[in-house]
Amino acid sequence: MLKINLDFSGGAEVLFNNIKKRQLSLESEKKWTLRDFLQYMKENLLTERLELFIQGDSVRPGILVLVNDIDWELLGELDYEIKQNDNISFISTLHGG
């Protein structure tokens, strides 16, 4: 199993049942890219309207994604391959001010 930790903040948690932190185990027979994982989130974790989190096959602009505290823009974004014990953070910049 591929174990990962997720955290949601900046208002992104509202889209996921208000849970800020969670652990997940993914089937590890196949490789998981962030693209695959977003699809998984869409089908299994998201509790609010889809368009508030997903746009096309990526996250909605204004939602920041970090893996192990590194900006996913430095990691190949959707093509990044998830590794054992990765910490994936989703931070909304769209809420409050």
Partner 1 sequence: MPILCKAECGNKATLKRPKTADALCKNCFFNAFELEIHETITRSHLFKPGQRVAIAASGGKDSTVLAHVMKLLNEKFNYGLKLVLLSIDEGITGYRDDSLETVKQNRDDYEMELKILSYEELYGWTMDRIVEKIGRTNNCTFCGVFRRQALDRGAQLLKVDCVATGHNADDIAETVLMNILRGDTARLRRCTDIKTGGAENSIPRVKPLKYTYEKEIVMYAHFKKLVYFSTECIFAPNAYRGHARAFLKDLEKIRPSVIMDIIHSGEQLQIRESVKKPIRGICSNCGFVSSCQPCKACVLLEGLNRSLPKLGIGKRSKSEKMKAQQDLERQVILREKANLVKNDF
Residues that bind partner 1 (CB under 8 A): 9-11, 14, 60-62, 64, 66, 69-71, 73-74, 89, 91-97
Give the residue with the Cβ less far from partner 1, 1 or 55.
Answer: 55
Give the residue with the Cβ less far from partner 1, 88 or 91.
Answer: 91
Q: Which residues contact 43 (CB under 8 A, 6 or more apart)?
A: none
Best CA proximity match to 54, nearest among 3, 16, 6, 7: 16
> Do the Cβ atoms of 25 and 3 come closer than 8 Å?
yes
CB of 20 to partner 1, least distance (A): 11
CB of 8 to partner 1, least distance (A): 11
